[in-house]
Structure formats: structure tokens, C-alpha cells
Structure 1
Amino acid sequence: MRYSLLDLIGLAAHTAPVTPLSADSAHEVMRLHRECPARECPRKAAALRTLVAAGCITPDSSRRR
């Protein structure tokens, strides 16, 4: 998927998204925020919730987010 510069700036922000993320956007957020802990980055936390709800990933219950 191709993103505009404005889209990428939004995806790179660490603030919580205003609108729900699509699964594609959530995957991109996870890629862009791979160094961020989900417990400290609202955008990565939202992306993680989206991907779990979509069944794309299953969190490891023995790990901390």
C-alpha cells in the first residue's frame, strides 16, 4: 500500500489515532513504531488492539506489553 507524506506523518505520530485504524494502517504503525513499547505509545497500543481484534496476531500471555 502506498501512503502520502501526510499519511506517513500521521502514522509516525505517537499520539492516539483520532479515527480507528484499518488493519493495513495498523500493520504500518507496528512497523514504524517497532522500537516503542505499546504501554508507552498510544498509537502502537491502538495498532496492537486493532490487529488482535482482527485476528492478525495473538498476544503472548507470558509477555508484558
Structure 2
Amino acid sequence: MDNTVLELLEMADHATPAGPLTITQAHESMRVHRACSVDHCRRKALAFNTLVEAGRIVPDSSRRY
């Protein structure tokens, strides 16, 4: 991973990103926002949905992310 400081600061923000996330960015956002809930962190929610749409995550209906 070779992120610039600006990219790292943006990734740490909980707000919805300006544009869509790539698969790599979505994975990294999920790691950075591991402790966040998709109900309260818009970045993690977008990352989660991006990975679900890409077939990288299959949601468990009994689990809260």
C-alpha cells in the first residue's frame, strides 16, 4: 500500500467519499473503519456495499457490521 498523506487523511474521514470507491479502496476502508458500524459510518457503508456488489462480501443476515 502506497498512500499519500492526503489519501490517508481522506480515508480516515467517516463522511461519504466524493466519488465511487475502487475494490482496493473499499477493502482498505473496511480495514481502517473496522470498529465503525455501517449504520453510523458512511464511508464504511459505501465500502461494504461496493464489496457486496463486487461479490467480495456475502452479508450474514444475523450479523451487524
Bin for the TM-score computed over the shorter chain:
over 0.9
Deviation at residue 63 of structure 1 after TM alignment: 1.9
Gapped regions of structure 1 (runs ≥ 5):
none
Q: TM-score, normalised by structure 1?
A: 0.93
Deviation at residue 42 of structure 1 after TM alignment: 0.3
Q: 1:3-61 deviations in whole A, cap 9, x for unaligned?
A: 10100111110000110000000011000000101100000000000000111110101
Q: Distance in 2 between matches of 1:8 and 1:22?
A: 15
**Which residue in 2 is equivalent to 1:29?**
29
Gapped regions of structure 2 (runs ≥ 5):
none
* Aligned-residue CA RMSD (Å): 0.9
Count of equivalent residues: 65
